[in-house]
Chains A and B, each alone.
Chain A
Amino acid sequence: MSNVKSAYRKPYVPKVEATWWTKNPFYFRYMLREGTSFLALFVAVELIFGLFMFALCDLNSPEPTVESAAPYLWWVQSFVGNPIVILLNLVSLGACLFHAVTWFALMPKAVRVFMNKNSTELVPESLTVIGLYICLLGATVVILGAAFITMP
């Protein structure tokens, strides 16, 4: 972003249509990938909304009742259980996986790991990518395992 203001310079700003990315499948895929960030934002806001509704509950009541936990129960039953939100979560899941595939694919280009300190040879790209897929698998097993084991 340049903030240079000069009387001698009148930069040419080409006109770009807002639909430029629909005309080429490569550009379309690029915008689809950028669009996944909106769904990630949606998930974060949804979770913060859940935290807010949980904080509204009467947390000091000795035994939780339907009345004391009413705000949270509304969030988990009526909001997260709403068909539109379920659909949005499903689309977000697809978006996260699309993001994961493209993110892992670009990682060897962004992070350059040398084989050892005496050479300029890089570790094979497949090693980084496969490592990240193993991380995804491991995190999924750990989180889902913990969630289902601790489920009352």
Chain B
Amino acid sequence: MHPQRSDEPIYWLLFGAGGMVVGIVLPSVLVVLLVAGMFSPDLNSGMLSYSHVASMLGNWFTSLAIFGVIALTLWHALHRIFHSLHDFTIRVTKLHWFALYGAAAALTFIALAFQFLIYVKLF
């Protein structure tokens, strides 16, 4: 009988990579979002204007980078929320695990689907 292997390393790896993304990449992403929010861009001018984002999502490299940032942030955040349920004095069950990691998986695939759709439609 082989002992059953834990699947925890996979989630821990995603959590660790996500921690790096949240610490290193997300601050500048938020600065971009704040600039976009304050200067109200339109079709063809300004930060995150329609044509600016169209060129970002139409480029496979930038689009993949954005997907990586979103996916790793999701896995990092939901892993940590799962593990802090205990600190919120919630008795953790397998259902909590499925709900939170399921949400991370679902949102990852939703982001991938949208980006793929936009990429294929644009070019």
Contacts and interface: CB of A to CB of B under 8 A. Distances in A.
Contact of B121 (A41, A60, A89): A60
- Interface residues of chain B: helix, strand, loop or mixed (majority): helix
Interface centre among B41, B44, B47, B77 (most CB of A within 10 A): B77
Interface residues of A, number: 62
Nearest to B23: A100
Contacts, number: 179
Interface residues of B, number: 61
Contact of A100 (B27, B42, B115): B27
Interface string B46-88: 1111111111110000000010011001101110110010011
B24 to A, nearest CB: 5
A123 interface: no
18 contacts: A34-B84, A37-B77, A41-B74, A44-B70, A47-B29, A47-B69, A48-B111, A51-B115, A57-B50, A66-B42, A96-B30, A100-B23, A100-B24, A139-B24, A139-B25, A148-B47, A151-B47, A152-B52
Identify the 10 closest CB pairs spanning chains A and B, nearest first.
Answer: A100-B23, A37-B80, A41-B77, A143-B28, A51-B114, A59-B121, A40-B77, A93-B30, A80-B37, A44-B73
